[in-house]
Structure 1
Amino acid sequence: KTSVARLLARYLRAFGVLTRDRFVEINGLELKGQFTGQTVHVVKEHISNAMGGTLFIDEAYALVDHSGGDRFSMEAIRTLLTEVENNRSNLFVVLAGYKEKMDDLVASDPGLARRFSNSLHLANYSAGEIAQICEKVAGERFELAFSEGLRAKLEAHIAAEHAEDIPEQNAALGINLTEAAFRRLAERHVRDGVTRESAAGHELTEEDYAVGVPVSRSPRAPHTLGG
């Protein structure tokens, strides 16, 4: 989501629509104040910080209050709508989040559909693409290569054990798996007495990614029917 938003921002900047190379990324919860009167100030401050550039609001659906006890939610939404309208020629605002939850957000106020009339749905990554992300993160962040044949085996492992994680995590799944693999590699080096100097040139293996090891998940609570 963030990468696509950054590309769109660069495009708009290149064509002179935006006047600054400014990209402000926040979470939807950050637009809510903690006491009466603070929310308006918080929203305006974030808008001001992004002026001339892009304001990227991830998990924007956090602005919706389903409990009915959060009096700051609608204040944040209405202030955001006002600021977007007042600065529509000098600000690019992106609301991001999971489709179903974003649909709930848009339905919460008619003004959202009017102000944010363009939407882009990004399909989930495939297991193969997640495996590619793993290899990319391993090389760029940890300067580690994959052992021969690891990517194909990792793809099959992700498809078998992490299919339900992909919609929730997407690219983050590849990052998390690789960080966990790096920790296992470090633990293996400590166990085997491998020094930092002799570790140069080592590769990530199936063992590091726990390929073939079933993922342990907490059992979900059973659904109950009220009588």
Structure 2
Amino acid sequence: MSEKNGWVLDIGIHSEHSRRQVNETKMLLTFISHIGTGKTITAQKMGELFYNMGLLATPQVVECTVADLLGQYVGQTVPKTRKKLQEGVGRVIFIDEAHRLVHGQYATEAVDELIQFLTRPSHKGKIIVILAGYTADMHNLISTRPALASLFPEEITFDNIPLDDCIALLAEELEFSKFTSEAGFLTNPSSPDYGKVKRLFRAMQSIPRWSNARDIRNLPRRILGGFLGSIDYDCAHQARVISAAHITDCMGQMITQQKERRTATASNNKTASSQQPPGRGMGSHPIMFSPQPATPPPAVSTSYALRAESSFSVADNSASIRTQGQGLNSFLTSQAAAVDKGTNGPQNDRNTQGQNASSADIREEGVFDVVWQELAKTKKIESARRVLRDTEIK
């Protein structure tokens, strides 16, 4: 018999009736819990259990996350999801961080393929699928994807590790490193120091995103790091006993650090949400992000400002002029000829300027006012550029 928080799996290994009942039902479960409560280990134990019953071809568990199901481009998600599910046939497939299937175009495609795959008669009783995620996020997923609620009726909740078990795990981790607590208070529930440690663990669990076993395993590293840094290595007989004051101080430091990180994360999320432009509700997949405003071009150096303005004006005019037809082409030809003749710019005599004006200032039909004004501006800039060039040559 295997029991986890009230959910009882009472299936006799040698019971043909039990095997037939399970074979007639697709084993589709959701693991809802906080971080570090043993979801992956439980899935591995379930693989061994059902393999020993003859319900699975192998005790191996296919572990993946939602990132292994989603594609990076259009058309990639469905084949990736199908391939991963096909890999889990005859096994237990454990999909962690399933709450990420809530939003996004690719997430919708993955959910649709998952439902289609699991409802095929050929897959009935041949695969055990476990969706795992955090409590609030998984509830959001089930409410957002109603098809999953009916397909995954079984829900197993993993609560936080009990406080006494947290202390026992801490003592085991220290003992594994060949250290022990002062007077063995971590194994004595009647000790006042035991009560202090228990209250500190309760404070840790009150912080959002408490990671249970992960944080408990990180705590001995902090404790031993501070302890080893304070001992005298010249004393070969130095006792490997850690005081209660040192342990409680390290736990207090860890609580302060977690609270500061939580505050910083909340502040950053608030700032990011206030600065983020309104999107189209396509989810958090990188390819579905809203486009960001273009970066403005760098300022042009003053020594090359006149030349850059001439280049940009000519380029813009060329793009506009191409839309005006053949009549404007003949006009540009006459303008270019007039500019080529006036190589001395303002130094030309009045007679030459008068002759050029008679041909260059003629405006043909079909030329827009904007185009005419830009051409005149470009002509002046080109003339000034030539004067500067001639001056530099002299």
- Greater Cα offset, 115-124 or 2-11: 2-11
Distance 1:48 1:204, change over 3 A: farther
Larger Rg: 2
Determine the structure 1 residue equivalent to 2:164. Answer: 128
Q: Which amino acid aligns with 2:55?
A: V
Deviation at residue 168 of structure 1 after TM alignment: 3.4
Residues 71-86 of structure 1: pairs in structure 2 closer than 5 A: 71-86=105-120
TM-score (norm 1): 0.78
TM-score (norm 2): 0.48
Query: Structure 2 stretches of 5 or more lacking a match?
Result: 1-38, 188-193, 271-394
Q: Which amino acid aligns with 1:34?
A: Q
Deviation at residue 111 of structure 1 after TM alignment: 2.0
- Aligned pairs, number: 212
Deviation at residue 137 of structure 1 after TM alignment: 3.3
Determine the structure 2 residue equivalent to 1:173. Answer: 215
Q: Which amino acid aligns with 1:82?
A: Q
Q: Which amino acid aligns with 2:233?
A: G
SS of the equivalent of 1:149 reads helix
Q: Which amino acid aligns with 2:200?
A: H
Q: Which amino acid aligns with 1:154?
A: V
Determine the structure 1 residue equivalent to 2:358. Answer: none
Deviation at residue 204 of structure 1 after TM alignment: 4.6
Determine the structure 2 residue equivalent to 1:210. Answer: 249
How many angstroms apart in 2 are the aligned matches of 1:201 and 1:42? Answer: 56
Determine the structure 1 residue equivalent to 2:41. Answer: 3
Residue of 145, 148, 153 corresponding to 1:112:
148
SS of the equivalent of 2:167 reads helix
Determine the structure 2 residue equivalent to 1:193. Answer: 233
Determine the structure 2 residue equivalent to 1:49. Answer: 87
Query: Structure 1 stretches of 5 or more lacking a match?
Result: none
CA-to-partner distance for each residue in 1:41-94, whole Å, 9 max, x for gaps? 2222322333311111122101111xxxx3211011111222233323221111
What is the Cα-based RMSD across aligned positions, in Å?
2.9
SS of the equivalent of 2:105 reads coil
Residues 91 and 127 in structure 2, CA contact (< 8 A), matched pair in contact too: yes
Residues 88-103 of structure 1: pairs in structure 2 closer than 5 A: 88-103=124-139
CA-to-partner distance for each residue in 1:1-58, whole Å, 9 max, x for gaps? 2222222222212211111111122223332111112212222232233331111112
Name the structure where helix makes up a greater proportion of residues.
2
SS of the equivalent of 1:95 reads strand
How many angstroms apart in 2 are the aligned matches of 1:156 and 1:46? Answer: 44
